[in-house]
A and B are shown apart, each in its own frame.
Chain A
Amino acid sequence: MIVTKNLVKRFGTGPVVLDDISENIEKGEKVVIVGPSGSGKSTFLRCLNLLEEPTSGQVWFEGKQINLPGVDVDRIRRKMGMVFQQFNLFPHKTVRQNITLAPTKLEIMTAEQANDKATALLKRIGLSDKADSYPSQLSGGQKQRVAIVRALAMEPDVMLFDEPTSALDPEMVGEVLDFMHTLADEGMTMVVVTHEMGFAREVATRMLFMDQGKILEQAPPKDFFGHPENPRLKDFLSKVL
């Protein structure tokens, strides 16, 4: 579904952040990327929907190369939901408006359809009573769940999560991870950058370990956590587990 070929990213004339990454993410996979900070995992994720423009190399989505001039990136991003560390809800819009904005502005749904969709999604995350609240009135965990359903409202084919629980108070991490777990169980293709090893172990179909812009090891979670091979991964796991 998503393929990168020889993906390289450097910011300006700085050091290489992504160093020649070729990777293939299949439909239905739940890929969890871990690694020390500064390893390039967020940059890799952001290159997949071209929030960061690759310096060289190719990004393919659903059979088409998308980092070519003339490709309508906006149209492609509709099918790639993204969830951010800092939630990035629109503070001047209500919860409901946050969810309905993109589907209605892009004329994918009528106002009525989008409204029904928002109602259903909010019911799903148990926040029906917050539909007309503003984001500033929500807790962190509620904000992140709204941010997830905002992306889901576009009915994406894949969801990208960029450290979705890193900005949350510890007691709110669970509610967000639980919801992500449900999504995974329903078959959503997911690429998740996270430090939540418990979640990774339970949900991932494949683990990637990144360090210094390279994917140093990948394996199913059982082998990844049970028999790590790369010395840097061993070192990393010994620190986080």
Chain B
Amino acid sequence: MFNDIPGQIYSTLILDSRWTLFINGLLVTLMIAGIAIVLGVAIGSVVAITKVNARQNKKLKWLEVICDIYITVIRGTPIVVQLLIMYYIVFATASKDAAPYVAALAFGINSGAYVAEIVRAGIQSVDRGQMEAGRSLGLTNGMTMREIIFPQAIKNILPALGNEFIVLFKETSIVGYVAVMDLTRAAELVRSRTYDALIPLIFIALLYLGIVMLISWALKKLERRLAQSDIR
């Protein structure tokens, strides 16, 4: 396995321009993760806001029930199963080229459930007096949410949200289940051609690691910027 490392690297990355497989795989992985994060944050925020508002208004009780069902089902079933259901049942008639987008949708819906709980906890972590102060000045519920509650909630939830992004990014490595050529699938393809597991797997492991470190770094920077008002 370790007898000819330079040769193995050559056959894994250079021969037949196999590096393009990795690059394309990486782009697919980033695309799926990117869409899923945006979708997840959007769905999660809507669900969280709905739940917070439904708690105060009995007429919206049914909306809260729907949100709870969504969260329970999504968090209670494996992402692989959700992905397979999305691909083979919900979008059974979709073309093969659409597979990456189907996967992104599945991951977005999945992430939304987790983000919803994070955002809800964040909104509720902001002192009740903040909402009262906003409303007593004549601001509407929506304005107070946007201007007062959210900015403070985001600061509180950023670490948890960042963690969710990282988990989501890594979890996309299972999209090979529905024949999407992502980074992991690309490595598998190369491995099956070269009969060498070491280089492709270590190589993509390093790539995943590098990107996760990049995300962590960006989040830490953002956190520091948001902590600006904490100075004493």
Contacts and interface: CB of A to CB of B under 8 A. Distances in A.
A80 B152 contact: no
B14 to A, nearest CB: 52
Contacts of A106: 138-139
A86 interface: yes
A86 B129 contact: yes
A96 B147 CA distance: 15
Given A88-B130, A92-B155, A77 B136 contact: yes
Interface in A62-104: 74-78, 80-82, 84, 86, 88-94, 101-102
Interface string A145-162: 001001100100000000
Contacts of B143: 105
Given A88-B130, A92-B151, A74 B229 contact: no
Given A74-B139, A75-B138, A102-B138, A88 B152 contact: no
- What is the predominant secondary structure among interface residues of chain B facing chain A? helix
A154 B137 CA distance: 7
Nearest to A160: B136
A88 B135 contact: no
Contacts of A113: none
A51 B133 CA distance: 10
A134 interface: yes
A49 B231 CA distance: 34
Interface string B218-232: 000000001011111
A136 interface: yes
Interface residues of A, number: 31
Contact of B138 (A74, A92, A134): A74
B35 to A, nearest CB: 30
A136 B132 contact: no
B194 interface: no
Contacts of A94: 229
Nearest to A49: B136
B127 interface: yes
B189 interface: no
A137 B136 contact: no
Interface of B: 127, 129-130, 132-140, 143, 147-148, 151-152, 155, 226, 228-232
7 nearest CB pairs, A to B: A78-B138, A88-B133, A102-B137, A82-B136, A88-B129, A134-B229, A77-B138
Interface of A: 49, 51, 74-78, 80-82, 84, 86, 88-94, 101-102, 105-106, 134-137, 147, 150-151, 154
Given A91-B229, A106-B138, 14 more contacts: A51-B135, A74-B135, A74-B139, A77-B136, A88-B129, A88-B132, A90-B130, A91-B152, A92-B155, A92-B226, A105-B139, A105-B147, A134-B228, A137-B231
